[in-house]
A and B are shown apart, each in its own frame.
Chain A
Amino acid sequence: MTIRTGIIGLGKAGMLRLRISRVMDNVDVLAVADSSKRRLQVAKRLGVKELYNNYNELLRSADVDAVIISLPNFLHKESIVAATEADKHIFIEKPLARTSVECKEVMRLAEKRGIKLMAGHNYRFLGCVKKVKSIYEKGMIGDVELSTFELVYDGFSPTLEPTPMPEWYFDVEKIGGWLLDAGYHLIDLFQWFFGDAEVLYAHLGSRFHLPYEDHAIIVLGSKNGTAKGVLNVGWFSKLTFPQFNFRVILHGTAGFISTDQFVPRNLYIHAAKEGIKNVLRRALGIEIRPLTYTYFYSSYAEELRHFFTCIENDSTPIVTAQDAFRVIRTIEEIYSMHNGS
């Protein structure tokens, strides 16, 4: 079965989704929509046949089975509503929407129409995270009492590519806040590991004099267990590709574990090994595994593969709209605690 896909929004994330999808065997990127003519031309060069400057036109195409929405945060709700009404399966970049009210609205609609709605929680698909989760679930480190989740990087400066960050990154109304970006992933991971969370402490700060936080320390507690987690998240630290500054550390009653133990020690050797494997796959006519050579970016490919497999098998994605809603609800709790203090 070939899944005929449309991509809405060809910014950094949308372009990445396009490049990944077009190397997948059973996916046909049939259409793209973006307001930029230049980006549409890039998509055309990459073999996309239908180009639209308005996503509603793309949604009217009966040939499209599923859409990947890579629009700025403030356009998530309206685009999900439109895609749901057009009965397309939806993969949306996180956050699902900016508020829990918006989330509920789109969840209800998607459920009513029976479409798949999955938000991009790519950190769940990182090899090192999957490994830690599996070890924890097998009980190999016992019950977790304390944990640390960290993600700190450079939110504003492209490491190599000479294009500026989009204007909406600097607009608090449009971006929402930094917790909706990096913080979102850590909150999702905590809840994926330990279930619903309550906020025990929150400090939000801005080194960069912006009207929203660029770093935060959050302490979460599991509502169903005893696990507590410190979440260190920030957008202020210069990083050069392929470095990434992310880890999960679990301290259990029977031992401890860290994602660092499962990240390749030398990312260049890893790239060479994975590159050779893909070249061999290509030579043998087997589907390649996109972006495995980058380690980190392969998580974007893995989650898209999962989304398409769920459509093929009519199964439920491991990231549900409910998961995405839970994260937003926790973020709202953090903001209200912060504003209250």
Chain B
Amino acid sequence: MDNLVSLVGVESFSREGIKKAVYQAIDLIGLNPSGVESVIIKPNLRWYWDYSTGETTDPRIVSAIIDYVCERWNVSADIKIVESDASAMRTKYAFKILGYEKLAREKSVELFNLSEDEVYEKEVTIGRKKFMLHLPSIVFNSDLFINVPKLKVGPYAGGQCLHMTCALKNLFGCIATHGKVKFHPYLQEIIVAVNKLIKPHLTVVDGVVGLGKHPVKLGLVMAGKDNLAVESIAARMMGYNPSKIPIIQLAYQEGVGDFKDVKLVCDNIDQIKKRFPKKSRLFFELSWKTQFLLLHLYTKVSKDAVPTVLENV
């Protein structure tokens, strides 16, 4: 069976335009699950940034997915929108601030904090390293897991800068642990570890607003069944060669999925690629590292204070 990834451009940025694109994107990959009683949808909610910044999943995408599930698979499915607490974010507030509480009321679906679920302790080996992860039981006990990441470049975190934050990274948010910042030193391995343990049945990428050097209205929706395949196409959208991205390579080696034999079903990929505001990762990472190095050096010599925002960097 073909490893399909679809790319659909929105006709308009309205709720209806986005819904149509989501429907087309899912239709094109030919997903026909049976016995769909329980569904979890995992958007990417990063801190409390509005979807228009390109940092968080647009609730209209999730709204369209809910409609799709109800219309095509099971009108009475038990649907939950899930997210976990992060070091600097509390899910209950993110749901409220980012419009998910309102969406849940409109669609009569449940909001679920993964950090409050019963957890399974799972051991996983990546390369030669062993990791123990606390993962919420719900992600293993639902009939359908839909991953809804953003199309965006990676932030500077833990002294490194990931190429991108898309399908693979969004599952990092399934770890129930609050202080996930402790994983930053081995971020790539941990992301691959989670992806080894959790396999979404469907990934729908929100590229309505993409985030590169700055946010941009891309109007793109992507869908696929293989999380790694979707990640690799997203990488191409952002101007990267997927074969040269370490996390994609590592995920491939660890059997997370396939990115070498992917069939694209799409509008004109080059047109969309041209519109993505590429960001020089090397420059970005170097500039942060240099700034922090100079800051540490300066405060050591001058004994000057640091503002709270720079305290722990």
Contact = CB atoms under 8 A, between A and B. Distances in A.
A162 B156 CA distance: 12
Nearest to B101: A209
A12 B308 contact: yes
Interface string A153-171: 0101111111111000010
Nearest to A236: B50
Given A16-B305, A241-B309, A297-B307, A209 B97 contact: yes
Contacts of A140: none
Interface residues of B, number: 35
Nearest to A291: B305
B45 to A, nearest CB: 11
Interface centre among B88, B96, B312 (most CB of A within 10 A): B88
Given A161-B308, A164-B89, A210 B96 contact: yes
B73 interface: no
B58 interface: no
Contacts of B96: 208-210
Interface string A240-281: 010000000000000000000000000010000001001101
B102 interface: yes
B298 interface: yes
Contacts of B309: 158-161, 241
Contacts of B38: none
Given A207-B50, A209-B96, A160 B304 contact: no
Given A160-B309, A160-B313, A288 B88 contact: no
Contact of A164 (B90, B98, B301): B90
A161 B156 CA distance: 12
A282 B302 contact: yes
A282 B49 contact: no
B308 A15 contact: yes
Interface range, A side = 35 or more
Contacts of B301: 279, 282
A136 interface: no
A190 interface: no
Contacts of B101: 209
Given A209-B99, A209-B102, A236-B50, A160 B303 contact: no
Interface of A is mostly: loop
A208 B48 contact: yes
Nearest to B156: A160
Interface centre among B99, B302, B306 (most CB of A within 10 A): B302
Contacts of A275: 294, 298, 302
Contacts of B131: none
Given A208-B48, A293-B298, A162 B303 contact: no
Interface in B89-115: 89-90, 93, 96-99, 101-102
B241 interface: no
A13 B98 CA distance: 26
A162 B181 contact: yes
B272 to A, nearest CB: 24
Interface in A211-237: 236
A153 to B, nearest CB: 12
Contact of B308 (A16, A236, A238, A301): A16
B58 to A, nearest CB: 14
Interface in B134-186: 181
Given A16-B305, A282-B303, A162 B312 contact: yes
Interface of B: 47-50, 53, 55, 86-90, 93, 96-99, 101-102, 181, 291, 294, 298, 301-313
Given A16-B308, A161-B312, A165-B88, 6 more contacts: A19-B306, A23-B305, A161-B308, A161-B311, A238-B53, A291-B305
19 contacts: A13-B308, A16-B305, A19-B305, A23-B305, A156-B93, A157-B49, A160-B309, A161-B311, A161-B312, A170-B93, A210-B96, A238-B49, A238-B50, A241-B309, A275-B302, A282-B302, A288-B302, A291-B305, A294-B307
